[in-house]
Structures are given as structure tokens and as C-alpha cells.
Amino acid sequence: MRTRITTVVAVLLLLLAGCSSGGRAHGGTVTLRFQSLAWQQESVAANKQLVKEWNATHPNVRVEYVQGSWDSVHDQLLTSFEGGEAPDIIHDASDDLADFAYGGYLADLTHLLPPGLRARIPGRSWDTATFEGRIYGVPFLQEPRVLIANATWLRAAHVRIPTPQHPWSWPEFRRITKKLSGHGRYGVAWPLKEPVSATLNLALSTGGRLFHRGADGKVNVRFTAADAVVPRTVHDQVALDHSTPAATLGSGGSDTLPGFFAGKYAMVPLGFSYRQQIVQQAPKGFRWEVLPAPAGADGLTQGVSPQTLSIATDCPHKKEAAAFLDFLLRPKNMVRLALGDWMLPTGTDALADPALHTGANGWATGTALAASLRPAPAQSVRGYPEWKDKVATPALQEYYSGAIGLAGLRDRLQKDGNLVLARYQR
């Protein structure tokens, strides 16, 4: 028996020894770890191919591709930063950067990036990753919210088809969705599982700002008439017009697609990248098209939080990492990444690429909206995540479901919201 136990322990120790990572020999070569959140087949392939091309042409700076996950990136990065083991090059979204930037975990890229790369991306995109005047990420992909529409249904109903040049106004959108509804069918299905960013980003079109920064730099929530247009439209579509089903308010975008394909809804407001799922899943012969979201007093303007690439403060080879970013985000490469992710590139040259102006799968409509994209209103507001989770999400859900009125919504967003934000601004 003793021999048997000794054998088990010995095997176990050997097993554990075999498991150990050991050290990696660098042999004088700089190795950079690039954690990418690309997840769609074409996107992962594009990223890996670009890393391969870099490694083939830069023998002294080797980039190692590491797959990350959108689902848990914030917690994973936070722990890695705290433990000093973060990846060198970090893929994330601009609305997730504020905490890391203020926490000193991300390198200031302001003077690190080559001027060519700075010039290729417009200022409004840089604004999404700029905190206290310093750049902490390179915004490279973004997606507007668009209306994915059942083309056959809309043509049969003889409604005016909007274009980026002549979009629907919000009242016109409401009239048309009402006209399209009836007999168990709905003009639009709003998937508002995450109601805050959708509402706030679209409200920019009507001049909504919600967050107002004072002369002292402190942010205050004010829910004005301009902020109310979009939420009131959705509320009235649910409660008064019955042109959108209440059931989809708690759904994610993917959940509404089966009903859309089955002809229950004429339109679904979704992110631009959802087109990939529609191409994959739409039944044969199903005709769909991409329409711009409705416009308000400020036209088609809407907020976005672009995907970003950052460099960790602890990265010992920041210049090399910046050179890799410059390579990865060259116009041709940015186009490859954008096509892989079914999103829009931020770079002006990349946006001009003919591959993104084809009528197929709504690419041209999307690129026509690029100039109207602005930083999401809450981009740099400290305390926004808590305000979103504890105040705005339940308040908007209650308003859309009819549990509270507009006055109640205003009261909650302002009164409760300002109490939350005040804690972050003392």
C-alpha cells in the first residue's frame, strides 16, 4: 500500500512539474504580447495574418497573438494590471478605458504614436480615447446603430425609404412604424436589454447631451426636452401605438433576429456588425437592407465607443509596440480588420477604400454615416458605469415598460444620478 501511495505522489509531482510554464527564451529578441478581442472567424484570421506578416518582416520584434474575451476583459485586465502581468498591447473599447487610464495602467500615447497614424484618424475619434488631454488608446473600429429592415415589407407598404441624405425624422419614423403594424406584426422591435447606451447614443441626434460639464470640470446630469425625444418615441411606440412589442425590450439584438426573419417585425435597430449574423442566418430569398437611424435637430449624429488599441504602462518596449500599432493600423490593414469585424474603420483613408462603399450588405449606407459619429456622451464621465447600472438601466426599463412616466424618469436620472456622480467628483 505504501508503495502505491508513493507512486501516486511521484506521478502527481511529475505531472505538476510537466505543467509548469517554465521560462521563454527570448534570445535578444523583443517579444510583445498582443491581446486581441477579435472573435468572428474572419476577424481572428485577419488579426493572425497581420501578426504573421509583422513577424515575417520584423525579426527583432516578435508579436505573440493572445486571444482575449469581450465577456470578461475588464476584470481580467484589472487583475493583470494589479499583478504587473498585463499584455503589452491591449484591445478594448473606448468606454472601458477611463478607469484604466485614470488608474495609471495605460501608457500615454500622445508622443509615442507616429504623426502619420495620428493624422489618419479624425479628431472626434481621438476624443473617445483622450482623458485629461492625454491619449490612452488608438480608436480603430466603430459601428453606428442602424435600422435593419425587411426590404420586401417596406416596398409593399409604399413607405418612403430613407437614405443617409434624406433620413426619417423621429416623428416620421414613429408614423411609419405605426402604419406597418397590426395583426400580430410590428413596425419595429427594439432590443433594449442594454437600454442606456442605445438611448444615450441615439439621443445625440436630437441634441440630447444629458451630461453637462461645468466650468469647474464637474459633470451634472440634466434631462432636457432634447434628451426626451428618443426615449419618448420608444415609450409611445410600446404603450400608445403598439408598433413595437414590449417583449423584445428585455432582449439582446440576436434574440430579435428569428422574429425578424419570420416576418414579425419590419425593422430592428441594431449595431452595424450584426449584418454578419443576418447574412449567415437569414432564410434564402429573404430581402433585407440597411437604413440610417432616424435623424433629429442635429441630423444623423450618434454616439459611439470605438474599439481601441492601447499599450500597458508596464510594457518595457513601448516604442516597438507603437511601431506595431502603426503597422496594424495602416489604411489597407485597417480595411482588412474592418471587413473581418463587419465594422467601420476610423481612419479617413481606410474609410475611402472602395471595398467599403459597395452596396452589398449595406456597406455604403454605413460608411455614409461615419462622418456623423461622435464620442458617446458618457465617454469620459467618471462614475458612469455605476450610474448606468444602478440608476439609468432600471429607470429606463421601467419607463419603457410603462411603470413610470417621463417625469419619474427625469427625476430618477437627475436626482439619483447626480448623487452617484457626486461621489466620484469630490
Partner 1 sequence: MRNHRTPRTATTPSPAGRTAARAGQYAALLAYLVFLAFPFLWLLSTAFKTPRELGSLHPAWIPRHPTLGNFRQAFDEQPLLHAALNSLLVALGAAVVAVLLATPMAYVMARHRGPLARAATGWVVISQAFPFVLVIIPLFLVLKNLRLIDSLAGLVLVYVVWSLPFALWMLVGYVRAVPVELEEAAAVDGAGRLRTLVSVTAPLLAPGLAATALFAFVTAWNEFFFALVLLKTPEHQTLPVVLTHFIGAEGVADLGPLAAAASLATLPSLLVFALIQRRITSGLLTGAVKS
Q: Which residues bind partner 1 (CB under 8 A)?
A: 1-2, 5, 8-9, 12, 15-21, 33, 37, 39-41, 44, 64-67, 69-72, 75-76, 79-80, 82-85, 87, 93, 193-194, 252-254, 257-259, 261-262, 264, 271, 273-274, 277, 280-284
Residue 352 one-letter amino acid: A
CB of residue 70 to partner 1, shortest distance in Å: 5
Closer residue to partner 1 in complex, CB, 131/274: 274
Closer residue to partner 1 in complex, CB, 171/316: 316
Closer residue to partner 1 in complex, CB, 184/217: 184
Task: Please count the other Cβ atoms lying within 10 Å of the Cβ belonging to residue 348.
Answer: 15
Closer residue to partner 1 in complex, CB, 33/222: 33
Closer residue to partner 1 in complex, CB, 49/163: 49
Strand pairing partners for 211?
221
The grid cell for 71 is 465577456
Q: Is residue 269 a contact partner of residue 147, using CB atoms and an 8 Å limit?
A: yes
**Cβ neighbours of residue 14 closer than 8 Å, sequence gap 6 or more:** none
- What gap in Å lies between CA 339 and CA 336, rounded to an integer? 5
CB of residue 40 to partner 1, shortest distance in Å: 7
CB of residue 286 to partner 1, shortest distance in Å: 9
**Cα–Cα distances in Å, from 332 out to 50, 337, 349, 350, 359?**
11, 9, 9, 6, 20
- What gap in Å lies between CA 279 and CA 53, rounded to an integer? 29
Q: What angle do CA 206, 365, 279 make, to 5 degrees?
A: 120
Surface-to-core class of residue 392, CB atoms within 10 Å of its CB (0-12 exposed, 13-18 middle, 19+ buried):
buried
Closer residue to partner 1 in complex, CB, 108/255: 255
CB of residue 344 to partner 1, shortest distance in Å: 15
Q: How many CA atoms lie within 13 A of 413 on its CB side?
A: 28
Closer residue to partner 1 in complex, CB, 185/209: 185
Could you identify the residue written with the cell 479628431? 123
The grid cell for 47 is 488579426
- What gap in Å lies between CA 197 and CA 319, rounded to an integer? 35
- What gap in Å lies between CA 351 and CA 344, rounded to an integer? 7
CB of residue 354 to partner 1, shortest distance in Å: 27
CB of residue 277 to partner 1, shortest distance in Å: 7
CB of residue 161 to partner 1, shortest distance in Å: 24
Under DSSP, the state recorded for 159 is P
CB of residue 309 to partner 1, shortest distance in Å: 15
Closer residue to partner 1 in complex, CB, 38/159: 38
